Structure 1
Amino acid sequence: MAGTGEDPGTGTDAASGATRGPAGGAGSATPSAPRSAAPSGATSPAWRAIGLIWRQETPLLEWAAPAAPAASPTPAAPTSPTLAHATVRTSPLPLGAEPAFTVGADRRCVGVWRAGRRVPCPAGAPVPARTRGAQCATCTALDRSSSIAADTRPDDPRAFAVYLAHHGSVVKVGITAEERGSTRLLEQGALSSTVVSTGTLMAARRSEHLLTTALGLPDRVAAQRKRTARARPGTPGERAAELLATAERVHALPAWPPIGQTPREPHVTDHTTAYGLPPSGLVPTAAVQPLEPGQTVTGRLACRIGSDLYLDTAAGLVLLDTRLLAGWALHPAPGDAAFTAGLEPLDDPREPQALF
């Protein structure tokens, strides 16, 4: 989801629903929800998807009804948005739910997060349909001007944790605000994780850099590598053993932890249950391509992990990157609507690749 950085994705209040539960019945979180991908009251073109967020280990699809665009920013102050906050709603995404929606006429910038709330784009700027980012250049610059990820908020007073995250085929190192708990790990789709130290932000950055240089741990993992690993996620025990072994190497470093960070006894948390990722893994046959106006997406939710949804459809298991939804107005589709969005066939990563 664009614009979250290290800030928690909090909405102003909850929607009454977005999906229908298994076997055509009402989902447990939304007993009277229509079979729709939009929250009730969201049939107006003004309601636009923002993306998938995680709150208390629960995945939610977030929506915004943007405020009326403010006057265009002046050249002297190109990054000052209106102070008004967007009206935000969230829709639950329970396993077995059946989202069904049709894409609206255009895609618009989703704005930025400030102090845990969404500020709409001052210009309501259009965003290219084929990009995964849903921010205009002005909002992107504003987002990065006060961002933990971009190292432009070094004076953040919160406590920060240094974690190890297991992504099935690799262990990475990262940092997150301690108050966010496991939210950052769920946002990135980590299969298991453990915290190795906590302390100040700048000390956390120094610790992260030390672990990348001394142990060769990456500080990021490509989305494609994460998705490939979901075909063979391994067992919680296997992942825990690798994380604990890596944590032991961390604790053995002579220059660790840097001043400002305190070691933590490793405790491994497995996240696959929150996602609904089966031990046997997931192998989608196709991925949804960038959306176009008038296209329809339908299916039954088989898994929610990171920013990805896996849908059981007539075409097989389909991967939907929810970043492609951000900025679009999405309208409820009829119960018998056909899946018309473009699909890109995917190879089975379990099969040996041809060498010639």
Structure 2
Amino acid sequence: MSLQIQTLTNSKNDVKKFVYFMKRVYRKYPHFVPPIYSEVVKFILKGPFNKIGEKQLFVALRDGEIVARLSVHRNFAHNEFYKTNQGFFGFFEAFDDQEAVNAIFAEGEKWLKERGCSSVLGPMNFAVYDEIGLLVDAFDIDPVLMCTYNPPYYLKLLENAGFKKEVDWYAYLKDTTIPNFMRLINQRVLKQPGMVIREVNRKKIDSEAEAVKHIFNQAWAENWGNVPFTDEQWHHLVKDLKMIINEKLAFITELNGKPIAFAISLIDANQAVKKANGSLFPFGIVKLLLEMRKIKRVRTTIMGVLKEHRNKGIEIAMVHKTIENGIELGITESDCSLIVETNTAMSSVLEKIGCVKYKTYRVLKKDI
């Protein structure tokens, strides 16, 4: 059977061909949650990464049928920040076809080497705070909002193609039980003069977002792979969050009127998106809206505390408020993710309050 690697253009037709291929890969995987495919096409064509990097899309064809896809890219913001020339890959999908995977990566690696890269890291779709990592366990559980899912054989395909583990990211699960020590810490934190944990104000979402961005860029400065958000990346993120954020699940902690910490949890819309089956029209939007009312899980996506205010119980107090408000909304559990394995302080806090590690996402690397 003939195998061919095709270099795609940045045309809408080519990108649609690239994106929609995954429908065939996941036909027999009941825990796969189809993305809204049209939004993925838009993200690749017009998303904020296009202002801070360059990309190339490839597909592998066997007898004229796509059997694998791959994006390779250079993130100029990352490489400038770290003074390196790192290559990346993302949007990887494939049937269990090692020959095709080896061939498509060989073509992608050639593209990166021509641009001076000596290694390739991924999967990242496209940046570290977009979808990241290869699922390596818990294949019998649906992914939560903004997290990926893949067949179990992907790890074998990538390892056989020469990739090795670079770093793992963890997802934790928490029920609505509030241990007594959490209540005591929460009371102690809120008794401090000038300390307030308040809900975000949707009517002032832009100014609230700027306060969160300021904290985020400081609090996450030492996190693995962190690159400060550009204004365009941040505005794109805020635009997406505006549609799904619930004020009762998003908080800013202030001390004497100054924002010092934040925590944002989102209703796990994936439970509704799955019903839409990848399309909002003609009936997907109705199914999505009806299903949103039934969701009992949230994803705590990001939390940050300024360095000088850490280890004082603020993180636990914000989780306490998330649980209390979540119970009012009928929420029964929260996914807390993703936590990079090097962030042992946050993992320790989560485990202390009763969170259970239940998923692992892996970033892999290969010298080229």
Higher helix proportion: 2
Query: TM-score, normalization: structure 2?
Result: 0.28
